Amino acid sequence: METQSNYLQNAKFRIENKKWLSYSSNIALRVLAALEENEHITNETLAQMIGVSPEFMNKILKGQENLSLETIAKLAEALNVELITFPKFLFDQPVNKVF
């Protein structure tokens, strides 16, 4: 009976957190693709580069971690890839623009 309870609890979690789990999965796929292109960087090396444990890196690569923007930025910098992009808006202006 405990297994069924866990299943229902996990299903409820996935439904309630569908959006960020989807984002996390997409980032995981991009990180995995970047790792394939950079054969000299292993999962363990990447974990060291961004200052996380190998266990945490495994969660990232499985798309099971609610990543902070800081972690996403560290991954992007370490892999030299853009992991998220933002659409252009009509009134976009550079943040550091001098008037």
At 43, which CATH number?
Answer: 1.10.260.40
65 in a structural domain: yes
At residue 45, what are phi and psi to the nearest 5 degrees?
Answer: -65, -45
Which is nearest to 57 in space by CA: 45, 68, 69?
Answer: 45
Q: Is residue 94 part of a domain?
A: no
Distance CA(28)–CA(62), nearest Å, equals: 6
Split into its structural domains, the chain has a count of: 1
Query: Is residue 48 a part of any domain in this protein?
Result: yes
Range of the domain at 66: 2-79
Would you give per-residue pLDDT tens digits along the chain (99 residues)? 456 679 999 999 999 999 999 999 999 999 999 999 998 999 999 999 999 999 999 999 999 899 999 999 999 999 999 999 888 887 777 666 555
The answer to the question of residue 41 being in a domain is yes
> Is 22 contained in some domain?
yes
What pTM was computed for the model? Answer: 0.78
